[in-house]
Amino acid sequence: MGMVEFTERTKTGISGLDELLNGGIPKNAVVLISGGAGSGKTVMGLQFLVNGAMDYGEKGIFVTFEETREDILAQALQFGWDLAKLEHDGKLKIVTFTLSKHHLSFVNFQLDEMISTFKPNRLVYDSISTIGVYAEILADVETLTSLGLKKEDMAIELRPDTITRRAVMDIMARLKSYGLTSLVISELPKQSNFLSRDTVSEFAADGIILLHCLERKEKKIRAIEVLKMRRTKHSMDLIPMLMADNGIEVLTGEKVY
């Protein structure tokens, strides 16, 4: 007899993925989705929210620093997902920020407000890597103070990566405190020794899912790998993945050659 399963799970509803995760993502977990450009991170995030809204009656919020609202709506329509309708029905909220214009302290404040009024069950943050790109801009006094840095600390030279790491840890803790299940998207530079660009979010995250584009003979194939998922017995294999007409499909039971 197996052990009794006490962990409540949030189903991604993505074909094959919940199976890999022993039923889904542990409720209230913060999971890093890391991968290279075009590996399917944004699509996976959107699919997680669309399935939540359509199949599980859960509200979702999509926070993006990367793309415009129009880009997101158009990408989703490619897979038959009508985000505008879900928004109209109060099941989804798409929020766009521009870190070159908005300070991180402003973003965090807005986010707190929206979570407490909209009360979503699922959140996608696309992407945490943007924080690193704008580290210098984030170094306004208000943001630094909100990250717990004192005047004395600011007097010494603050390196961009120090600010980035602190900001990333702060965001991960903030997401955790909301009491919802989040996917945090992270760009993975090629040939990185780390699992994220900021090098710290992998430790703060409850789970890490890597998306790959692999070169195999003449063709490229997509694959997915669960590297870490607290409270979960999961496969450690590299599993092939498809971008099908209605979204991502994980081909559990198949192998990557």
Q: Which residues bind ligand ATP (CB under 6 A)?
A: 35, 37-43, 66, 78, 187, 243
Token pair 């989804």: residue = 92
Residue 88 beta carbon to Mg ion: minimum distance, rounded to whole angstroms: 24
- The answer to whether the beta carbons of residues 93 and 61 sit under 8 Å apart is yes
Question: Of residues 29-88, which lie at the interface with Mg ion (CB under 5 A)?
Answer: 42
* Orientation of helix 69-77 relative to helix 41-55, angle to 10°: 70
Question: Of residues 89-118, which lie at the interface with Mg ion (CB under 5 A)?
Answer: none
Identify which of residues 126 and 144 has a Cβ nearer to ligand ATP in the complex.
126
Identify which of residues 42 and 51 has a Cβ nearer to ligand ATP in the complex.
42
**Which of Mg ion, ligand ATP, none interacts with 78 (beta carbon under 5 to 8 A by kind)?**
ligand ATP
Residue 64 beta carbon to ligand ATP: minimum distance, rounded to whole angstroms: 10
Residue 195 beta carbon to Mg ion: minimum distance, rounded to whole angstroms: 17
**DSSP H stretches of helix in 119-184:** 129-133, 135-138, 141-146, 151-155, 160-177
Neighbours of 58 (CB within 10 A): 20
**Which of ligand ATP, Mg ion, none interacts with 43 (beta carbon under 5 to 8 A by kind)?**
ligand ATP
- Which residues, listed in sequence order, are joined to residue 181 by a DSSP beta bridge? 122
Residue 2 beta carbon to ligand ATP: minimum distance, rounded to whole angstroms: 35
β-pairing verdict for 60-64 and 122-126: parallel
Phi, psi (rounded to 5 degrees) for 78:
-55, -30
Identify which of residues 186 and 232 has a Cβ nearer to ligand ATP in the complex.
186
Q: How many angstroms separate the CA atoms of 120 and 61, rounded? A: 6
Contact positions vs Mg ion (CB under 5 A) = 42
